[in-house]
Protein backbone atom coordinates (compact mmCIF):
# COMPACT_ATOMS: atom_id res chain seq x y z
CA UNK A 1 0.00 0.00 0.00
CA UNK A 2 3.08 2.23 0.12
CA UNK A 3 1.75 3.75 3.30
CA UNK A 4 3.77 5.32 6.07
CA UNK A 5 2.75 5.88 9.66
CA UNK A 6 3.67 9.20 11.22
CA UNK A 7 3.17 9.64 14.95
CA UNK A 8 2.91 13.03 16.58
CA UNK A 9 2.31 13.57 20.29
CA UNK A 10 -0.46 16.00 21.12
CA UNK A 11 -0.07 15.73 24.87
CA UNK A 12 1.22 13.22 27.37
CA UNK A 13 -1.61 10.74 26.78
CA UNK A 14 -2.53 11.19 23.09
CA UNK A 15 -0.80 10.23 19.84
CA UNK A 16 -2.10 10.81 16.33
CA UNK A 17 -1.33 7.96 13.93
CA UNK A 18 -1.32 9.11 10.31
CA UNK A 19 -1.48 6.15 7.95
CA UNK A 20 -0.58 8.00 4.76
CA UNK A 21 -0.35 6.64 1.23
CA UNK A 22 2.54 8.20 -0.68
CA UNK A 23 2.40 11.00 1.87
CA UNK A 24 -0.69 12.48 0.22
CA UNK A 25 -3.82 10.96 1.71
CA UNK A 26 -4.84 8.41 4.26
CA UNK A 27 -6.34 7.81 7.68
CA UNK A 28 -5.71 9.53 10.99
CA UNK A 29 -6.38 7.68 14.26
CA UNK A 30 -6.03 9.05 17.77
CA UNK A 31 -4.22 6.67 20.12
CA UNK A 32 -3.99 6.61 23.88
CA UNK A 33 -0.50 5.16 23.88
CA UNK A 34 2.03 2.97 22.16
CA UNK A 35 1.75 -0.58 23.54
CA UNK A 36 4.54 -2.39 21.69
CA UNK A 37 7.32 -1.58 19.26
CA UNK A 38 9.69 -4.18 17.90
CA UNK A 39 11.63 -5.13 14.81
CA UNK A 40 12.11 -8.44 13.04
CA UNK A 41 14.49 -9.19 10.16
CA UNK A 42 11.60 -8.27 7.86
CA UNK A 43 9.83 -5.23 9.26
CA UNK A 44 8.95 -2.94 12.13
CA UNK A 45 6.04 -4.18 14.25
CA UNK A 46 3.96 -1.80 16.35
CA UNK A 47 0.83 -2.02 18.49
CA UNK A 48 -1.13 1.06 19.53
CA UNK A 49 -4.06 1.42 21.90
CA UNK A 50 -6.53 3.69 20.06
CA UNK A 51 -9.79 5.31 21.10
CA UNK A 52 -11.87 4.21 18.12
CA UNK A 53 -10.44 0.87 17.00
CA UNK A 54 -9.00 -0.61 20.20
CA UNK A 55 -5.59 -2.18 19.68
CA UNK A 56 -4.13 -1.59 16.24
CA UNK A 57 -1.36 -3.66 14.65
CA UNK A 58 1.00 -1.91 12.25
CA UNK A 59 3.51 -3.78 10.10
CA UNK A 60 6.16 -1.89 8.22
CA UNK A 61 4.24 1.35 8.59
CA UNK A 62 0.84 -0.01 7.49
CA UNK A 63 -2.24 -0.69 9.58
CA UNK A 64 -3.03 -4.36 8.99
CA UNK A 65 -5.29 -5.34 11.89
CA UNK A 66 -7.58 -3.61 14.37
CA UNK A 67 -9.15 -5.05 17.49
CA UNK A 68 -12.46 -3.42 16.55
CA UNK A 69 -13.54 -3.22 12.95
CA UNK A 70 -11.42 -5.89 11.28
CA UNK A 71 -14.42 -8.03 10.32
CA UNK A 72 -15.02 -6.62 6.81
CA UNK A 73 -11.54 -7.60 5.67
CA UNK A 74 -11.29 -11.01 7.30
CA UNK A 75 -14.84 -12.06 6.50
CA UNK A 76 -14.63 -10.98 2.87
CA UNK A 77 -11.26 -12.60 2.43
CA UNK A 78 -12.63 -15.93 3.64
CA UNK A 79 -16.37 -16.46 3.37
CA UNK A 80 -17.21 -15.87 -0.32
CA UNK A 81 -14.86 -18.68 -1.36
CA UNK A 82 -15.76 -20.91 1.59
CA UNK A 83 -19.44 -20.62 0.66
CA UNK A 84 -18.85 -21.16 -3.07
CA UNK A 85 -16.59 -24.20 -2.74
CA UNK A 86 -18.42 -27.54 -2.90
CA UNK A 87 -16.71 -29.02 0.18
CA UNK A 88 -13.73 -27.08 1.58
CA UNK A 89 -11.85 -29.42 3.91
CA UNK A 90 -8.24 -28.29 3.55
CA UNK A 91 -7.19 -24.64 3.56
CA UNK A 92 -3.86 -22.84 3.23
CA UNK A 93 -3.52 -19.22 4.37
CA UNK A 94 -0.47 -17.47 2.95
CA UNK A 95 0.52 -14.53 5.16
CA UNK A 96 -1.98 -15.34 7.88
CA UNK A 97 0.15 -14.64 10.93
CA UNK A 98 -2.31 -12.11 12.33
CA UNK A 99 -4.87 -14.87 12.87
CA UNK A 100 -7.81 -12.92 11.46
CA UNK A 101 -8.55 -15.10 8.45
CA UNK A 102 -7.74 -18.21 10.47
CA UNK A 103 -10.46 -17.33 12.96
CA UNK A 104 -13.03 -17.16 10.15
CA UNK A 105 -11.93 -20.39 8.43
CA UNK A 106 -12.15 -22.36 11.67
CA UNK A 107 -15.85 -21.52 12.03
CA UNK A 108 -16.63 -24.21 9.46
CA UNK A 109 -17.16 -27.73 10.75
CA UNK A 110 -16.25 -29.15 7.33
CA UNK A 111 -12.67 -27.84 7.64
CA UNK A 112 -10.28 -30.60 8.67
CA UNK A 113 -6.88 -28.91 8.25
CA UNK A 114 -5.59 -25.35 7.98
CA UNK A 115 -1.97 -24.53 7.17
CA UNK A 116 -0.93 -20.96 8.01
CA UNK A 117 2.26 -19.84 6.30
CA UNK A 118 3.73 -16.65 7.81
CA UNK A 119 7.13 -15.28 6.88
CA UNK A 120 7.58 -13.35 10.14
CA UNK A 121 7.35 -15.30 13.39
CA UNK A 122 7.26 -12.11 15.44
CA UNK A 123 3.87 -11.26 13.92
CA UNK A 124 2.29 -14.40 15.36
CA UNK A 125 4.04 -13.82 18.69
CA UNK A 126 2.72 -10.26 18.85
CA UNK A 127 -0.82 -11.41 18.11
CA UNK A 128 -0.68 -14.01 20.86
CA UNK A 129 0.61 -11.42 23.33
CA UNK A 130 -1.84 -8.60 22.60
CA UNK A 131 -4.84 -9.73 20.49
CA UNK A 132 -6.61 -12.35 22.57
CA UNK A 133 -9.55 -12.84 20.19
CA UNK A 134 -7.23 -14.15 17.45
CA UNK A 135 -5.02 -16.29 19.67
CA UNK A 136 -7.23 -19.43 20.02
CA UNK A 137 -7.03 -20.24 16.32
CA UNK A 138 -3.33 -21.04 16.61
CA UNK A 139 -4.11 -23.61 19.32
CA UNK A 140 -6.87 -25.34 17.36
CA UNK A 141 -5.86 -28.96 16.58
CA UNK A 142 -6.75 -28.41 12.93
CA UNK A 143 -4.17 -25.61 12.60
CA UNK A 144 -0.56 -25.97 11.53
CA UNK A 145 1.64 -22.87 11.52
CA UNK A 146 4.71 -22.75 9.29
CA UNK A 147 7.17 -19.86 9.51
CA UNK A 148 8.35 -19.52 5.94
CA UNK A 149 8.04 -17.49 2.77
CA UNK A 150 4.72 -18.47 1.18
CA UNK A 151 6.35 -18.79 -2.23
CA UNK A 152 9.02 -21.17 -0.94
CA UNK A 153 6.46 -23.21 0.99
CA UNK A 154 4.30 -23.83 -2.07
CA UNK A 155 7.35 -24.49 -4.22
CA UNK A 156 8.87 -27.07 -1.87
CA UNK A 157 5.73 -28.70 -0.48
CA UNK A 158 3.71 -31.48 -2.08
CA UNK A 159 0.56 -30.65 -0.10
CA UNK A 160 -2.57 -29.75 -2.02
CA UNK A 161 -5.59 -27.80 -0.79
CA UNK A 162 -9.23 -27.14 -1.52
CA UNK A 163 -8.75 -23.45 -0.84
CA UNK A 164 -5.70 -21.17 -0.80
CA UNK A 165 -6.07 -17.66 0.67
CA UNK A 166 -3.28 -15.26 -0.24
CA UNK A 167 -3.55 -12.70 2.54
CA UNK A 168 -0.76 -10.46 1.28
CA UNK A 169 -1.37 -7.32 3.30
CA UNK A 170 1.30 -5.06 1.83
CA UNK A 171 2.31 -5.33 -1.84
CA UNK A 172 5.92 -4.25 -2.08
CA UNK A 173 6.60 -5.34 1.51
CA UNK A 174 8.61 -8.27 2.89
CA UNK A 175 6.64 -10.84 0.86
CA UNK A 176 7.44 -9.61 -2.62
CA UNK A 177 7.82 -13.18 -3.88
CA UNK A 178 4.02 -13.37 -3.72
CA UNK A 179 3.82 -10.75 -6.45
CA UNK A 180 5.85 -12.71 -9.01
CA UNK A 181 4.08 -14.23 -12.00
CA UNK A 182 5.18 -17.78 -11.22
CA UNK A 183 3.68 -17.53 -7.72
CA UNK A 184 0.22 -17.71 -9.28
CA UNK A 185 1.28 -20.87 -11.09
CA UNK A 186 2.42 -22.38 -7.78
CA UNK A 187 -0.95 -21.59 -6.24
CA UNK A 188 -2.82 -23.22 -9.13
CA UNK A 189 -0.62 -26.32 -8.94
CA UNK A 190 -1.28 -26.75 -5.21
CA UNK A 191 -5.05 -26.74 -5.58
CA UNK A 192 -7.19 -29.85 -5.77
CA UNK A 193 -9.36 -30.48 -8.82
CA UNK A 194 -12.21 -28.34 -7.48
CA UNK A 195 -9.93 -25.84 -5.75
CA UNK A 196 -10.41 -22.10 -5.31
CA UNK A 197 -7.86 -19.37 -4.62
CA UNK A 198 -8.41 -15.89 -3.22
CA UNK A 199 -5.91 -13.07 -3.75
CA UNK A 200 -6.05 -9.76 -1.91
CA UNK A 201 -5.57 -7.20 -4.67
CA UNK A 202 -5.28 -3.97 -2.70
CA UNK A 203 -7.20 -0.76 -3.30
CA UNK A 204 -8.55 -0.67 -6.88
CA UNK A 205 -8.46 3.12 -6.71
CA UNK A 206 -4.87 3.58 -5.55
CA UNK A 207 -3.33 0.41 -7.01
CA UNK A 208 -5.36 -0.43 -10.09
CA UNK A 209 -2.27 -1.82 -11.79
CA UNK A 210 -1.95 -4.44 -9.04
CA UNK A 211 -5.47 -5.75 -9.70
CA UNK A 212 -4.95 -5.65 -13.45
CA UNK A 213 -1.69 -7.59 -13.17
CA UNK A 214 -3.30 -10.21 -10.91
CA UNK A 215 -6.07 -10.76 -13.45
CA UNK A 216 -3.51 -11.13 -16.22
CA UNK A 217 -1.69 -13.77 -14.18
CA UNK A 218 -4.74 -15.86 -13.21
CA UNK A 219 -6.45 -15.71 -16.61
CA UNK A 220 -4.18 -18.34 -18.15
CA UNK A 221 -4.13 -20.61 -15.08
CA UNK A 222 -7.73 -20.73 -13.86
CA UNK A 223 -10.91 -21.64 -15.71
CA UNK A 224 -12.98 -18.95 -13.96
CA UNK A 225 -12.23 -15.83 -11.96
CA UNK A 226 -14.15 -12.91 -10.52
CA UNK A 227 -13.19 -9.69 -8.78
CA UNK A 228 -15.12 -8.34 -5.81
CA UNK A 229 -14.81 -5.47 -3.35
CA UNK A 230 -15.40 -4.56 0.26
CA UNK A 231 -15.54 -1.19 1.97
CA UNK A 232 -13.27 -0.81 4.99
CA UNK A 233 -12.77 2.17 7.28
CA UNK A 234 -9.08 1.53 7.93
CA UNK A 235 -8.04 0.69 4.35
CA UNK A 236 -6.60 3.36 2.02
CA UNK A 237 -9.46 5.22 0.34
CA UNK A 238 -11.84 2.95 2.26
CA UNK A 239 -12.00 0.15 -0.30
CA UNK A 240 -10.23 -3.17 -0.86
CA UNK A 241 -10.50 -5.55 -3.81
CA UNK A 242 -10.16 -9.32 -3.98
CA UNK A 243 -9.81 -11.81 -6.80
CA UNK A 244 -11.27 -15.31 -6.46
CA UNK A 245 -10.28 -17.92 -9.02
CA UNK A 246 -11.45 -21.47 -9.71
CA UNK A 247 -9.78 -24.49 -11.28
CA UNK A 248 -13.16 -25.52 -12.71
CA UNK A 249 -15.14 -23.35 -15.12
CA UNK A 250 -18.26 -23.37 -12.91
CA UNK A 251 -16.49 -23.27 -9.55
CA UNK A 252 -17.76 -19.81 -8.62
CA UNK A 253 -21.42 -20.30 -9.47
CA UNK A 254 -22.53 -22.05 -6.27
CA UNK A 255 -23.75 -20.59 -2.98
CA UNK A 256 -24.11 -23.13 -0.16
CA UNK A 257 -27.08 -21.89 1.85
CA UNK A 258 -26.66 -24.76 4.30
CA UNK A 259 -23.06 -23.86 5.03
CA UNK A 260 -23.93 -20.17 5.30
CA UNK A 261 -26.70 -20.87 7.82
CA UNK A 262 -24.23 -22.75 10.00
CA UNK A 263 -21.96 -19.72 10.44
CA UNK A 264 -24.25 -16.77 9.69
CA UNK A 265 -24.97 -15.83 13.31
CA UNK A 266 -21.24 -15.45 14.04
CA UNK A 267 -20.68 -12.82 11.33
CA UNK A 268 -20.65 -9.05 11.66
CA UNK A 269 -20.29 -7.97 8.01
CA UNK A 270 -20.71 -10.75 5.45
CA UNK A 271 -24.14 -12.14 4.55
CA UNK A 272 -25.91 -13.54 1.49
CA UNK A 273 -26.81 -10.10 0.13
CA UNK A 274 -23.31 -8.75 0.68
CA UNK A 275 -22.04 -11.81 -1.22
CA UNK A 276 -24.12 -10.93 -4.28
CA UNK A 277 -23.46 -7.22 -4.04
CA UNK A 278 -19.68 -7.52 -3.67
CA UNK A 279 -19.42 -8.79 -7.24
CA UNK A 280 -21.46 -5.86 -8.61
CA UNK A 281 -18.64 -3.47 -9.43
CA UNK A 282 -18.70 0.28 -10.03
CA UNK A 283 -18.03 1.30 -13.62
CA UNK A 284 -14.52 2.63 -12.90
CA UNK A 285 -13.49 -0.74 -11.50
CA UNK A 286 -15.15 -2.62 -14.36
CA UNK A 287 -12.92 -0.64 -16.67
CA UNK A 288 -9.84 -2.00 -14.90
CA UNK A 289 -11.02 -5.56 -15.58
CA UNK A 290 -11.31 -5.13 -19.32
CA UNK A 291 -8.69 -6.98 -21.42
Which residues are catalytically annotated?
167
As a whole number of angstroms, the distance between CA 288 and CA 291 comes to 8
Residue 280's H or E segment, with its range, is: none
* Torsion angle, alpha carbons of 183, 21, 235, 210, to 10: -30
* The Cα angle at residue 138 between residues 97 and 62, in degrees rounded to 5: 20
List residues bridging with 54 in a β-sheet: 50
Q: Give CA 56 to chain center in angstroms.
A: 16
What phi, psi does 102 have (nearest 5°)?
A: -60, -45
As a whole number of angstroms, the distance between CA 260 and CA 101 comes to 17
What phi, psi does 152 have (nearest 5°)?
A: -65, -35
As a whole number of angstroms, the distance between CA 96 and CA 23 comes to 27
Instruction: Answer yes or no: are the C-beta atoms of 57 and 97 closer than 8 Å.
Output: no
Q: Give CA 160 to chain center in angstroms.
A: 20
Instruction: Answer yes or no: are the C-beta atoms of 150 and 119 closer than 8 Å.
Output: yes
Q: Give CA 143 to chain center in angstroms.
A: 17
As a whole number of angstroms, the distance between CA 228 and CA 239 comes to 11
Rounded to a whole number of angstroms, the distance between the first and last alpha carbons of the chain is 24
Provide the greatest CA pair distance for the chain: 58
Amino acid sequence: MNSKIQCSEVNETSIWIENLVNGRSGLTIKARQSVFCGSSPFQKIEVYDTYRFGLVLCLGGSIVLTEKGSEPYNEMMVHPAMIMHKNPQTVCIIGGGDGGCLKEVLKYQCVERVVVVEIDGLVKETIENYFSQFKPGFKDPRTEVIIDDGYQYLKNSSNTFDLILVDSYDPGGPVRSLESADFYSLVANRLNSEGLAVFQTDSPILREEFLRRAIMNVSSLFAQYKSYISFMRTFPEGICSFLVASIQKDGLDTFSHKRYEQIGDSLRYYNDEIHRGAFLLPQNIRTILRP
